[in-house]
Amino acid sequence: MFEDHVITILKERQIDLVASIPCDKTRDLHFLLPEHFRHIGLTREEDGVGVCAGAFLAGGRPLMAIQSSGLGNMLNALMSLTRTYDLPLPILASWRGVQDETIPAQVPFNAAVPGILDATGIPYTVIRTSSEFSKIGDVVTDAFAYLRPHVALVMPGSWAGTASCYTPVPPPARERVISITYNRKFPEPVMTRNDAINIIARHLDRQVVVANIGVPSKELYAANDRPLNFYMLGSYTQASPIGLGLAATTRREVWVIDGDGSILGTGILPVIGVESPANLTVFCLDNGSFGSTGNQPTPAYHHTDIEMLAIASGFRFTVKTGTPEGLESILGSLGRGPNFVHVILKPGNAEVKNIPLSPHQIRDRFAAAIR
């Protein structure tokens, strides 16, 4: 079967993690992927860019499997993370909107995909028939050889002429009892994000740390620069996805310093809940604002309780604090994850300098330290 052929090609290229959102045209392949690879099912394609970045940095060989419309969701992350740090990312994309397409909404973006990829300098390879499936291996090889994204645009017709290779099985029962007792008080904040980062920094030993974009990364650099810190220079919303990719690939303890705006902009919390990595802790430093852009308020300032989102997503342990003593106590007693530490803060940025490291320097020293 053609799907088995593709899986064999990916195994021959030593792919060991696949992050995916399925496509109707490749449904059988998407049913089979979890049987053959460490698989992370996404809710938004953009999060897969971060997941795969984390997996590679920890020594893995990841791949994304999507439909081509998802490339639109991924473009900023591809350019500000994958291209900025020069990370490999082979992408197996079912190319919609160009061949016997019956859904009008698939046409406008997908018909323009080659031009969009040309404009951004992202290489792609068109695969028109099953006889060209070997090119998928070439795409993987190129991505890792040249440390760049490379998209395989697979025409839906290339799967024609073969019977389904997947025998559907009845889904497991969904019935379950959910019982939640939740009683929290939002404290009036007494700390800034920099105060919280300085406390976290004092507890760092062998943990791998991902610091959110902008000022948070600068504040961590000023507090405790170390090779095991991955400083994000761009790619809004990708801190926790990177942390998940790291946690899925390394046995080290992984800490993510994320923010309320970033977490509210991603769909990664339910994915973390499903994957349930025991070595992952997400610190949501919630100052109710977009701190790096002038402290404009987020929905978390007066309305949204992000800890409740983590509970609903299935985090094993969640906690809220707003004081230095409370954060110190939590840091001294963290156990098996995934953990979600919700730290209520007041807006404000420390006066810190830019990080004097290039993206390649951040990448190389981090990868050398973690592996």
For 6-55, the pLDDT digits (tens) are 999 999 999 999 999 999 889 889 999 999 999 999 999 999 999 999 99
Question: Do residues 231 and 357 make contact, with C-beta atoms less than 8 angstroms apart?
Answer: yes
Give exposure, 92-109, as e/b (b: 16+ Cβ within 10 Å): bbbbbbbeebeeeebeee
CATH number at residue 131: 3.40.50.970
Answer yes or no: is pLDDT of 162 > 70: no
Answer yes or no: is pLDDT of 292 > 80: no
Predicted pLDDT of residue 254? 98
The closest of 233, 183, 226 to 206, measured between CA atoms, is: 226
pLDDT tier, 302 (very low <50, low <70, confident <90, very high otherwise): confident
**Average pLDDT value over all residues in the chain:** 94
End-to-end CA distance of the chain: 37
**Can you give the residue range of the structural domain that contains 70?**
2-159
Question: Is residue 145 domain-shared with residue 35, that is, in the same domain?
Answer: yes
Strand 38-41 versus strand 62-67 pairing type = unpaired
The percentage of the chain sitting over the pLDDT mark of 70, rounded to a whole number, equals 98
Question: Is residue 253 domain-shared with residue 198, that is, in the same domain?
Answer: yes
Question: Is residue 155 domain-shared with residue 198, that is, in the same domain?
Answer: no
Predicted pLDDT of residue 166? 66
- Residue 187 falls within a domain, yes or no? no
Whether omega for the bond prior to residue 338 falls within 30 degrees of 0, making it cis, is yes
The tens digit of pLDDT for each residue in 337-346 reads: 999 999 999 9
The closest of 256, 168, 174, 272 to 212, measured between CA atoms, is: 256
The closest of 239, 288, 293 to 261, measured between CA atoms, is: 288
Answer yes or no: is pLDDT of 262 > 90: yes
Question: Is residue 210 domain-shared with residue 329, that is, in the same domain?
Answer: yes
Least confident of 86-95, 171-180, 274-283, 302-311: 171-180
- Residue 272 falls within a domain, yes or no? yes
What is the C-alpha to C-alpha distance for residues 266 and 100, in angstroms, rounded to an integer?
Answer: 33
- Residue 355 falls within a domain, yes or no? yes
Answer yes or no: is pLDDT of 187 > 90: no
- For range 347-367, the mean pLDDT: 95
The tens digit of pLDDT for each residue in 101-149 reads: 889 999 999 999 999 999 999 999 999 999 999 999 999 999 999 999 9
Question: Do residues 95 and 126 make contact, with C-beta atoms less than 8 angstroms apart?
Answer: yes
Answer yes or no: is pLDDT of 152 > 80: yes
Predicted pLDDT of residue 114? 97
Question: Is residue 231 domain-shared with residue 343, that is, in the same domain?
Answer: yes
Answer yes or no: is pLDDT of 207 > 90: yes
State residue 334 phi and psi, 5-degree precision: -65, 135
- Residue 185 falls within a domain, yes or no? no
Predicted pLDDT of residue 164? 60
What is the C-alpha to C-alpha distance for residues 285 and 197, in angstroms, rounded to an integer?
Answer: 9
The DSSP string of 157-203 is GGGTT--------PPPP-------------PPP---HHHHHHHHHHT
- Residue 176 falls within a domain, yes or no? no
Answer yes or no: is pLDDT of 318 > 80: yes
Predicted pLDDT of residue 160? 77
Predicted pLDDT of residue 231? 98
Would you put residue 147 in left (φ > 0), alpha (ψ -120 to 50) or beta?
Answer: left
- Residue 175 falls within a domain, yes or no? no
User: For the CA atoms of 130, 134, 135, 138, what is the dihedral angle to 10 degrees?
Assistant: 160
Question: Do residues 13 and 61 make contact, with C-beta atoms less than 8 angstroms apart?
Answer: yes
- Residue 177 falls within a domain, yes or no? no
- Residue 75 falls within a domain, yes or no? yes
Domain total in the chain:
2
